[in-house]
Structures are given as C-alpha cells and as structure tokens.
Structure 1
Amino acid sequence: MTRILLARHGETDWNRLGRWQGHADPPLNEAGLSQAAELAERLAGDGIAAVYSSDLVRASETARVVADRLGLDVVEDARLREIDVGSWSGLTRAEVEQRFPEGYARWLDGEIGHDGETREELTERVVGAVERIAAAHPENTILVVTHGGAIRALRRHAAGDPGDPIENCGTSSLELVDGVLRVRAA
C-alpha cells in the first residue's frame, strides 16, 4: 500500500478575491506562504518519502516550502494542474454570472459551465498521474501538492463523492492498494 497525502496549495490574491484560477499562474501571497510553512510543520513527522507538485507556481511554491523542511526535492508534473476553466479564468463569480449566465447556472447546478476542460478530462488526467506516481513509491508515503478541483476529482474517483471543498493548505489522504485508489480512513 502506498499512502498519498493530497495538499491544496496556499492562498493567492486571486483566491482572496474569489477569481477563477484554472491554469492561470498567480503566486502565493503572504498568507499562502504562511499556510505553506504551517503545512510543512504539520507534515514534518509523517515520514514522507517524496514530494510531487502541479507545475503551476501556487502549488510548486507550496511544495517547495514543505520539501525544504523535509529535506526533499520537488518533482513537478503538469498532469497535477487544476481544471482548465477556459474563458472564466481570472473572473469573479459575479463577472462569470454577468458574462456567461447559462454556464453559471449550470455550474450552480453542479455541472461544468465553462468552456475549458470537462470533469472527465480532469479526472482522467489527475487520476492517471497519481496512480503512476504512487506505483513508483510502493509502501511509502508521498505528498502531492495540487489544487481543489484536482483533489475533488481524485476523491470522486476513489470514493464516488468529492467531499467538501478543501481549504488552502488543507489535506486529504488516499491510498493505492493493488493498483486501486481509495480514500484512506482517518
């Protein structure tokens, strides 16, 4: 069994302003850097053998703070990116509602309303990445620093339910057992 700790990146100014980020690449703000340092301290005794990260700067900065504390390198992987939100990138909810009212209404109903990546494309991308990463580290604990949408996609795949939204630098645990991802019991 491989234990996979999933961590959402620290806060960006776009998070604070409620802007859709998707594949946009804003850096961590001061709060995000503090959250990353707190995450590093929380994980210091967890026996993490490897650190992987989305290549987007908000995730890779978070991962580097943790990896530096653990004395590890960060392996960046573009497959761990957030969902591509297309033309919604950089917009607030109010701006999306004004410019794309039908898509916004679909999003409120739990569907994908933007013109970017589909939920299925996101899931296929991140699940494949995490399965390959975990398979490369049998019987170890690994950290994957990624994004809220990616974590929900992984949880939906592993448990049939995406769970509640995860806060900046919040964590969730999965495990890979006999090639199958599942939610790790607390």
Structure 2
Amino acid sequence: MPTPITASPSATEIILIRHGETDWNRELRFQGHIDVPLNDMGHEQARRLGLRLAGETVQHLLSSDLMRAQQTAAPAAQQLSLSVLTRVSLREQNFGLVEGMRADEIQNLHPRAWEQWLEFREDHAMPEGENARDFHARIMGALGDIAALHAGQCVLVVTHGGVLDMVWRTANGLGLSGPRRSDIPNAGFNRVRIADAAVPTSIEILDWADTRHLDDLPAQPTYDQTRHLPKR
C-alpha cells in the first residue's frame, strides 16, 4: 500500500458512489455511454444510499450526466438539500460498437476485439471506443478540477464502476493494464482524499465498498473480469 498522504486544510474529500443497479447490470451488458435507467432494485439502493448520506457534511453534489447516475444522486440531493450538477467528464468508459452487448455477443460479433480485450492492455480500446489510458486521463482531469474548485471541502460524486476502478488503481499505485481487481458494488459508499489539486493522482482511500446500507438486499450481479483469463 502507498504511504498515507498527510491531510492539509486544502485537501478535498470526495465521496464516490457507483450508480445503482440497472437491468443491463443484471444482464452483465457493457453499458458505457448508453443512457440506461435504474431498475426497481437500483431505485431502492439509491433510496437507502440517500438515508446513509443524511448525516454527512457535504458542500457539493456532482454526477455523471447519464440517467442512472442522476437517478442515484436524487435521493441524496434531497437528504442533503443540494442541487445536482452534472458533468459529462464523469461518464463511464466509452466501449464504442460493443455497448449494449454481453460478453458472448461480443465474442460472436467482434471476436478479434474480444481476444484483445482479454489482454487487458491500457492502450487497447473496443472498436470506436476509449482505451484505458485516455479514460484514466479524462477521470484524473475531472477529479483534479473538482479538487481545485472545492479545496478544503467534501464533494459527493455519483459516477460509474470504471471510474472507481481508475481511482482505486491510482490510489494503490497500480498500472492500468490487467483486469479489475477491486470490489465496486452498485450504490456502495467510497471516500477518498486528494491532497493536492495540482496532482490529482495524490489520492488516499479512506473508505471503500461500504455496503452496510444495502444489507438484506439480494446479491448484486458481478462482472468478474478475472474469470475470462486463460487457465494456468
């Protein structure tokens, strides 16, 4: 683990939330930039998340502009008496032509792209999509802007699983290649600190994948990238 970063009065705390469940999450489809709404379970997760956040001191609430993120943010906005400001820069990774597809559909329709996807290289993108390196740069830029605008404050950010993966890798000093290995549940609670807005990669994880507010709900669908790796 990286050495903990000393907090300063100008540090920015960011509560990061992955949106609630959608039908496409349940079907393990690549959602990307397609505007999919929450399903009934996702709305219940969002309601509980709002109650979980009621005691937090939060000065601003930002969300991806995609519907599933905005719908997740709505109950929290009500509890915190904050308006929701949307940012296109907080969207999920763009998966291009394969958005809306399951893994088996990609294998059938874009077999070469799927083979390359399983290499998990930072410079690879699905056809007409965004590679991990460009995605990471977009997200670090967005978080750097948030930290610069809201130094010394706490900001709630509702976004997507891939975004949280970029944050987790960066905070733990990992590269962008290789499959996702962090736990990123729908509507989970994550808290990080950015010590210096000029260096948005100076991220310290304070809390990660807290789902106590979702206890007793059915198990979440999980897209495990590692299960696609060749057996050794």
Indicate the TM-score class for this superposition, using the shorter chain for normalisation. over 0.9
Q: How does 1:80-159 map to 2 (within 5 A)?
A: 80-111=90-121, 112-115=124-127, 116-159=129-172
Cα distance in 2 for partners of 1:30, 1:87 equals 28
Task: Using the TM superposition, give the Cα deviation of residue 25 of structure 1 relative to its aligned residue in structure 2, in angstroms.
Answer: 0.4
Which residue is equivalent to 1:167?
185
Most deviating of 101-110 and 5-14: 101-110
Which residue is equivalent to 1:13?
23
Which residue is equivalent to 1:28?
38
CA deviations 1:84-114 (Å, max 9, x no partner) are: 0001101011101111222222322323451
Point out where structure 1 has 5 or more consecutive residues left out of the alignment: none
Q: Structure 2 length as normaliser, TM-score? A: 0.75
Point out where structure 2 has 5 or more consecutive residues left out of the alignment: 1-10, 175-179, 208-232
Q: Is the 8 A contact 1:102 1:113 kept in 2?
A: no
CA deviations 1:133-165 (Å, max 9, x no partner) are: 122112211111000011111222333236514
Cα distance in 1 for partners of 2:80, 2:92 equals 25
Cα distance in 1 for partners of 2:146, 2:53 equals 19
Q: Is the 8 A contact 2:18 2:159 kept in 1?
A: yes
Greater share of helix residues, 1 or 2? Answer: 1
Q: Is the 8 A contact 1:174 1:182 kept in 2?
A: yes
Alignment RMSD: 1.6
Q: Is the 8 A contact 2:59 2:153 kept in 1?
A: yes
Percent identity between matched residues is 39
Cα distance in 2 for partners of 1:178, 1:164 equals 24
Q: Is the 8 A contact 2:53 2:79 kept in 1?
A: no
Q: Highest CA radius of gyration, 1 or 2?
A: 2
Q: Which 4+ stretches in 1 moved above 6 angstroms?
A: none
Which residue is equivalent to 2:61?
51
Cα distance in 1 for partners of 2:173, 2:98 equals 27
Q: Is the 8 A contact 1:105 1:113 kept in 2?
A: no
Number of positions where the alignment pairs a residue of Structure 1 with one of Structure 2:
186
Q: Structure 1 length as normaliser, TM-score? A: 0.93
Most deviating of 46-55 and 134-143: 134-143
Cα distance in 2 for partners of 1:39, 1:163 equals 24
Residue type at the aligned position of 1:118: N
